[in-house]
Amino acid sequence: MINVDKLHKELEAAGIEFSGCNSNGVVWDIENVEEIQEREDVKSVIDSHDPAPDDITVLRGKYFKAGLTIEDMIFALWKKVMSSDSTDADSLQSLMDGVDALLN
């Protein structure tokens, strides 16, 4: 099992130049021509890959289940910054605080 987003970040952190990867562990070279997952440096990253979602992904999932979306946050922030109306942002913050309290 491969967490594509996480593997992508792990390959980048290892300094490997590549064009993409997929959930089957296939990794393409920088020109998107050859599969390079058998190369020793790439194989090492894949072998040590932990597919579990990172903490921020888990938290975003909890917020989404509680009814909070990134789009909601953007519009609330925009309204707060551009119109000096923090009503929506304050409401969303209360929702986030409630989710955070359940996690602690």
Share of the chain above pLDDT 70, in %: 99
**Which residue has better confidence, 103 or 21?**
21
Contact 80, 61 (CB under 8 A): no
Q: For 80, what's the count of Cα atoms within 13 Å in the CB-facing half-sphere?
A: 14
Q: How far apart are CA 89 and CA 7, in angstroms?
A: 33
Contact 1, 22 (CB under 8 A): no
In this model, does residue 93 exceed pLDDT 80? yes
In this model, does residue 8 exceed pLDDT 90? yes
Average pLDDT over residues 36-59: 94
